[in-house]
Structure 1
Amino acid sequence: MRVVVAGTSFGRVYLDAVGSDLVGILARGSAYSAECAASRGVPLYTSVDEVPDVDVACVVLKSGALGGPGTEIARAFLKRGVHVLQEHPVHADEIASLLREARAAGVSYAVNTLYPNLSPVRRFLAVAQVLQRHQRIEFIDAACNSQVLYPLIDVLGRIAGLRPWEFGPVSRGGPFVSLHGRIGGIPLTLRVQNEVHPEDPDNHSFFLHRITIGCEGGVLELADTHGPVLWNPRLHSPRDSAGRLIMDAERLSTPNVVVLGSAVSYVDVFAKLWPEAVSRALADLHDPAGRQWALSVSTAWRELSAVLGLPALIRPAEPGVIPLDEILAVS
């Protein structure tokens, strides 16, 4: 493929993912963008019209949903007959109009929510499928920062299906907003850190995502967006004829927690896990099943965001670091 990447902020992840297929960078022309292009040996363009014929455009700029130019740049590429992968979030009406443009031009358009394609999340979803082959999912408990609410809906939908969904009234306490609802018909408890630093929106989250699903046989947890995955078989001790708990029953010999995957550094998250996820999204760009799915995810996100309300504006200082050696010394 001949790929151009529009944007050099989060677009850096896409540049790493595209690798040798990169033939150009589209940006406003800052010194940093020029340096990115020079370091990769490709031209820097400052308008869509300057870009020569390419196969795919990765549009990694704020969409109209966030007041940015990403949607119109995506539209311009589609009109030229270029396949487009656009970074989330994108409003459903924007997606619908861009899908029409893509259909008219005979090309593909997709929204990349990134996180469902991360290796730890894929592992979590694969184990969830194993559970569902045996038992029904009884509940979902999830938490996230509002900045990554859009991809959380995508992940939860891949567990349960999205429809029918409903999001109940919220309660507020501390930095989190909580609500009860349903997704795919499954009871959902959701906590959202509905706060944002207006000058530093990518920081100051207590965490990105945590997801727990429960079935009759136990609880599966994605401890963090980047893993590990934890399987906690349900504690159940049978009773003898006198009603006493049998504390050495065979089912009790299994580990109380099974850890799937391992911890990773944030350096590896940025350098490996995220580019790998982008590569998977590019590989799925032409999958027609993603079109209606993208519309449903965006619609659910819009409805949930309306229930949560606007994020509170915060301006905390840079967080302090807890010495890891002191934590490890306790164990």
Structure 2
Amino acid sequence: MRKLKTVVCGSTFGQFYLEALSRDKEHFELCGLVAGGSERSEKCAENYGIKLYNGIRALPEDIDLACVVLRSNVLGGKGTELAVELMKKGIHVLQEHPIHPKDLIFCYRTAKESKVFFKTGNLYANLPEVKKFTRCAQELNRRQKPAYINVRMAAQVSYPGIEILMQAMGSIHKWSLKSSVKDNGPFVILSGTLDDIPVTFEIHNEIYPQDPDNHMYLLHSISFVYKSGRLTLEDTFGPVIWNPRMHVSTELYERGKVTGSFPEYMKEVSASVLGEFEGCSFQRLMEEVWTQAVLGDALSMRGFVLEEENYACKAQREIMCSQIWNEITKDMGYAKMIENCRHCVVTAKELEAVIEAAE
């Protein structure tokens, strides 16, 4: 089985890629880190026993795959330019989101001209609870059309949020945003339709410039509302909850007594956590869950490269995702810059003590 000789570009979030690829020596050979030569980059190269490259010109000619984990052009970085240069050198590219739709189309065009594969990474879609939610939503969609969708997310992770939404719906053929509420707290509220289904986006649109990847009130929380109930991805890391719709037949009141026999559907519990779920620490999320999700993206890319899987549909979905994301970001406007942020900790044990004290 041929291993893909792989390099990682970027040493911040790129550390998850380094860890993921180093764990799968059957499918990947981690050959180096492309970074600016900071102390952090030197530590990464030393920790994983790989060579540190200050630019792609110094890369060996036999590199198969590059994971570009740098800010793209739309975020003021040079990730997209680097991805294009790598593809022109005959290297397949897996690039971290978000990517502007025009840049994304250009990347796919470059990949075709260079006879390589290109793909955007989205570890969130590979997370266990997200996959559970999308599978359940797809099954419910086959039975009933959603009556309403609510999406809550942070602006920093809105791009993968759209990808999760697209997977849950199966496909999105048309969309429109009709109204917005801004400057009324930390969340921007957008409303519109996705394939004629009413949808509301509640987006936390604040950024602390000194630490832009933190201080989000949430990552993702998505609810699909049906005539039969409500399916909710409570958090990016779960749980997935099913709330059957409450229905009390008028016939039950006719008997003049609230006790007695009830129909089977009223014996269902009012809320169910679907599948096996156990909350895990943020430490385990970083060390295991995120790393495994990143590896899932890399293995998907490997399938395109070695098995020459047809990825035309995937490319079309990615472009549509980028277009929807771009429209949403335009409507929600620039993020509000906030100051003097610090991390606050309240443990579940503290809250449980409040409950116990009240009993």
**Is TM > 0.5 for Structure 1 vs Structure 2?**
yes
Taking only aligned residues, the RMSD between alpha carbons, in angstroms, comes to 1.6
Mean CA deviation greater in 294-303 or 313-322? 313-322
1:192 aligns with 2:203: yes
Q: How far is the alpha carbon of 1:242 from its aligned partner?
A: 6.5
Mean CA deviation greater in 176-185 or 52-61? 176-185
Q: Which amino acid aligns with 1:178?
A: I
Do the aligned residues in 2 keep the contact of 1:237 with 1:247 (CA within 8 Å)? no
Whole-Å separation in 2 of the counterparts to 1:198 and 1:119:
31
Do the aligned residues in 1 keep the contact of 2:125 with 2:163 (CA within 8 Å)? yes
1:47 aligns with 2:32: no
Deviation track 1:32-78 (CA, whole Å, cap 9, x = no partner) reads: 11111111111110110111121110000011111111111111110
Q: How many residues align?
A: 331
The change in CA–CA distance for 1:241 and 1:198 in structure 2 (over 3 A counts) is: closer
User: Residue in 2 aligned with 1:182?
Assistant: 193
The DSSP-based 3-state class of the residue aligned with 1:240 is helix
Q: How does 1:1-331 map to 2 (within 5 A)?
A: 1-19=4-22, 20=25, 21=28, 22-52=30-60, 53-160=62-169, 161-172=171-182, 173-240=184-251, 243=254, 248-260=262-274, 261-285=277-301, 286=304, 287-329=311-353, 330=355
Deviation track 1:266-324 (CA, whole Å, cap 9, x = no partner) reads: 11221122122212212222233211111111111111111111011111321321143
Segments of structure 2 that go 5 or more residues without pairing to the other structure are 305-310
Do the aligned residues in 2 keep the contact of 1:204 with 1:316 (CA within 8 Å)? no
Q: Which amino acid aligns with 2:272?
A: V
The change in CA–CA distance for 1:288 and 1:16 in structure 2 (over 3 A counts) is: farther
Over the matched positions of the two proteins, sequence identity in percent amounts to 35
Q: How far is the alpha carbon of 1:177 from its aligned partner?
A: 1.0
Deviation track 1:91-120 (CA, whole Å, cap 9, x = no partner) reads: 111111111111112111011132112111
Mean CA deviation greater in 18-27 or 314-323? 314-323
State the TM-score, normalized to the length of structure 1. Answer: 0.95
Q: How far is the alpha carbon of 1:227 from its aligned partner?
A: 0.6
Segments of structure 1 that go 5 or more residues without pairing to the other structure are none
Q: How far is the alpha carbon of 1:146 from its aligned partner?
A: 0.7
The DSSP-based 3-state class of the residue aligned with 1:151 is helix
The change in CA–CA distance for 1:140 and 1:200 in structure 2 (over 3 A counts) is: same
Do the aligned residues in 2 keep the contact of 1:156 with 1:183 (CA within 8 Å)? no
Q: How far is the alpha carbon of 1:186 from its aligned partner?
A: 1.4
Whole-Å separation in 2 of the counterparts to 1:158 and 1:243:
45
Whole-Å separation in 2 of the counterparts to 1:309 and 1:303:
10
Q: Hey, which bits of structure 1, 4+ residues long, moved more than 6 A?
A: none
Q: Which amino acid aligns with 2:48?
A: R
The change in CA–CA distance for 1:182 and 1:251 in structure 2 (over 3 A counts) is: same
Mean CA deviation greater in 166-175 or 1-10? 166-175
Q: How far is the alpha carbon of 1:170 from its aligned partner?
A: 1.1
The DSSP-based 3-state class of the residue aligned with 2:250 is coil
Q: Which amino acid aligns with 1:175?
A: P
Q: How far is the alpha carbon of 1:179 from its aligned partner?
A: 1.8
Whole-Å separation in 2 of the counterparts to 1:205 and 1:117:
21
Q: How far is the alpha carbon of 1:241 from its aligned partner?
A: 7.8
Whole-Å separation in 2 of the counterparts to 1:217 and 1:240:
20
State the TM-score, normalized to the length of structure 2. Answer: 0.88
The DSSP-based 3-state class of the residue aligned with 2:161 is helix
Q: Which amino acid aligns with 1:324?
A: A
Whole-Å separation in 2 of the counterparts to 1:80 and 1:112:
20
Q: How far is the alpha carbon of 1:247 from its aligned partner?
A: 6.8
The DSSP-based 3-state class of the residue aligned with 2:322 is helix
The change in CA–CA distance for 1:184 and 1:277 in structure 2 (over 3 A counts) is: farther
Do the aligned residues in 2 keep the contact of 1:156 with 1:162 (CA within 8 Å)? no
The DSSP-based 3-state class of the residue aligned with 2:116 is coil
